[in-house]
């Protein structure tokens, strides 16, 4: 089985071409391959399948084997994967996901995809929820951008003990369901800074849906303008509100290719 390791701002996934043949037990395979000591090492596995209504389908598995509905960094890499391998010559694609179809615009430079803009759709921002855990109290803003998030504004995300707080906030009963957790600051109206605990994967260098959720929550509270640069540990995404939808632009990069026995 051949695979491709790709990353968007350090949010890395193992990509499998499943257009003609699909491996058995993808959940267990994702656990094995994602292990950074005994496997390839990644935040999860993404299978590229034939489109249901769009051009292709993205089927995502987290590092713990659980299914993910949507991944903003992952879907940008899907766009680069299918274009750079000649599976399509289109630069505007529709990718089916567990959260519904998402439209991509591929920015091609020198015959290869350099960056991708994704129409992430509309974000649903809920009412703030007061949460107590580990002796601390947090105001969590529920946001859904195709998958569930909990946004927490703070002065400096870099000072948050994310490894301690992330696991308990992810499953906190007051939030109703397992959520990705974002700690966010807004230094000015054109910039946001965040760190993310991803459900099923833990601390990641970047999270596209998490950045969109943080942006949506910041807009709701009038902490930022309609276009921001979102800084994550792995790099920067450009986010823009157009009408009801959020558009995300960022890089996608192939790390290496290999073959599994």
pTM exceeds cut of 0.85: yes
Q: Is it the case that residue 251 has pLDDT exceeding 90?
A: yes
User: Residue 1 has what pLDDT?
Assistant: 87
Residue 179 CB partners (closer than 8 Å, separation 6+) = 142, 148, 149, 150, 169, 170, 199
- Percent of the residues in the chain that have a pLDDT greater than 70, as a whole number: 100
Q: Give the residue-averaged pLDDT of 69-86.
A: 97
Residue-wise pLDDT tens digits, 100-138: 999 999 999 999 999 999 999 999 999 999 999 999 999
From 186, 207, 212, 224, active-site residue: 207
User: Residue 23 has what pLDDT?
Assistant: 93
Name the pairing type of β-strands 227-232 and 191-198: parallel
CB 56 within 8 A of CB 27: no
The reply to whether 207 belongs to the active site is yes
Q: What does residue 206 show for φ and ψ, rounded to 5 degrees?
A: -160, 160
Spatial distance between the Cα atoms of 161 and 166, rounded to a whole number of angstroms: 8
Residue-wise pLDDT tens digits, 80-103: 999 999 999 999 999 999 999 999
Spatial distance between the Cα atoms of 246 and 118, rounded to a whole number of angstroms: 8
From 47, 71, 186, 224, active-site residue: 71
């Amino acid at each position: 089985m051949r695979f491709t390791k790709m990353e968007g701002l350090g949010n890395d996934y193992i990509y499998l071409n499943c257009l003609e043949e699909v491996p058995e037990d993808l959940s267990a395979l994702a656990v094995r391959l994602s292990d950074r000591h005994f496997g390839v090492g990644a935040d999860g596995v993404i299978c590229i399948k034939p489109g249901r209504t769009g051009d292709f389908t993205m089927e995502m598995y987290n590092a713990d084997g659980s299914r993910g509905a949507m991944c903003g960094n992952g879907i940008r890499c899907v766009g680069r994967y299918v274009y750079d391998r000649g599976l399509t010559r289109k630069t505007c694609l529709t990718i089916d996901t567990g959260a519904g179809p998402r439209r991509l615009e591929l920015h091609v430079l020198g015959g290869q995809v350099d960056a991708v803009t994704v129409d992430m759709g509309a974000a649903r921002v809920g009412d703030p929820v007061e949460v107590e855990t580990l002796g601390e109290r947090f105001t969590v803003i529920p946001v859904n951008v195709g998958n569930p998030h909990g946004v927490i504004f703070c002065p400096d995300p870099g000072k948050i003990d994310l490894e301690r707080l992330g696991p308990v906030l992810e499953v906190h009963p007051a939030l109703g369901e397992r959520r990705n957790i974002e700690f966010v600051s807004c230094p000015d109206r054109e910039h946001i800074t965040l760190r993310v605990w991803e459900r099923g994967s833990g601390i990641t260098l970047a999270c596209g849906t998490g950045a969109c959720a943080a942006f949506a929550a910041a807009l709701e509270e009038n902490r930022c303008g309609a276009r921001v640069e979102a800084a994550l540990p792995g790099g920067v995404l450009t986010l823009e509100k157009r009408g009801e939808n959020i558009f995300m632009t960022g890089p996608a990069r192939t790390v290496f290719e290999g073959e599994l026995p």
